[in-house]
Structure 1
Amino acid sequence: MATSLITKSLSDLISERRSVRKYDPTYKISKEEINDILKEAIKAPSSSNLQPWRFIVIQDEEVKKELRSIANNQEQVETASAVIAVIGDKEMYKSVEKVYRSAYEAGYMDEGSMNRLIENTNNTYPHAPEEILKNIASFDAGLVSMQLMLIAKDRGYDTVPMGGFNKEQFARKFDLPERFFPVVLIPLGKAAAPAHNTTRLPLDDVLIDFI
Structure 2
Amino acid sequence: MTVTEAINARRSVHSYDTSKSISDKELRELIELSTLAPSSFNLNHWRFITVRSDDGKKRLHAASFDQKHILDASAVLIVLGKIDAHEDVEKFTGDWVNKGYYADEKHLKIVTSKFYGLNPTVQRDEAIRSTSIMIGMMMLAAKERGLDTSAIIGFKPDEVVEAFNIPSNYLPVMLLTVGHELTPPPERVIRLNYDEIVYEETFPVD
Shift of 1:120: 1.9
Amino acid at match of 2:99: Y
Q: Distance in 1 between matches of 2:56 and 2:99?
A: 42
SS of match in other structure, 1:185: strand
Residues 171-186 of structure 1: pairs in structure 2 closer than 5 A = 171-186=161-176
Q: Does 1:201 align with 2:192?
A: yes
1:116 corresponds in structure 2 to: 107
Taking structure 1 as the reference length, the TM-score comes to: 0.90
Shift of 1:114: 3.0
- What is the deviation of 1:9? 1.4
1:94 equivalent to 2:84? Answer no
Q: Structure 1: state its 5+ residue gaps.
A: 1-7
- Pick from 128, 131, 142: which aligns with 1:141? 131
1:167 Cα deviation from its structure 2 partner: 0.7
C-alpha displacement of 1:95: 1.0
Partners of 1:133 and 1:123 in 2: how far apart? 11
Q: Is the aligned partner of 1:41 residue 2:31?
A: no
Residue of 156, 161, 170 corresponding to 2:151: 161
Corresponding position of 1:50: 43
In structure 2, how many angstroms separate the alpha carbons of the residues matched to 1:49 and 1:205? 33
SS of equivalent to 1:127: coil
| 8 Å CA contact 2:116, 2:122 repeated in 1 | no
Residue 110 of structure 1, CA deviation:
7.2
Structure 2 unmatched runs, 5+: none
* Whole-Å separation in 2 of the counterparts to 1:85 and 1:207: 33
Could you tell me how far 1:183 is from its partner in structure 2? 0.6
Instruction: Determine which of 14, 21, 33 is the counterpart of 2:14.
Output: 21
- Runs (4+) of structure 1 moved beyond 6 Å? none
Q: In 1, distance between residues paired with 2:138 and 2:92?
A: 21
Question: Which amino acid in the other structure matches residue 90 of structure 2?
Answer: E
CA deviation digits over 1:104-163, x for unaligned, max 9? Answer: 4xx4127833331123213432211x2221111101111010011100000000000000
Deviation at 1:20, TM superposition (A): 0.3
Q: What is the CA distance between 1:210 and its match in structure 2?
A: 4.2
- What RMSD in Å do the two structures reach over aligned CA positions? 1.5
Give the secondary-structure state (helix, strand or coil) at the position aligned to 2:77: strand
User: Residues 59 and 163 of structure 2 are in contact (CA less than 8 Å); yes or no, is this contact kept in structure 1?
Assistant: no
Percent of aligned pairs sharing the same letter: 28
* Most deviating of 46-55 and 149-158: 46-55
Letter in 1 for 2:167: P
What is the rounded CA distance, in whole Å, between the counterparts of 1:210 and 1:119 in structure 2?
A: 34
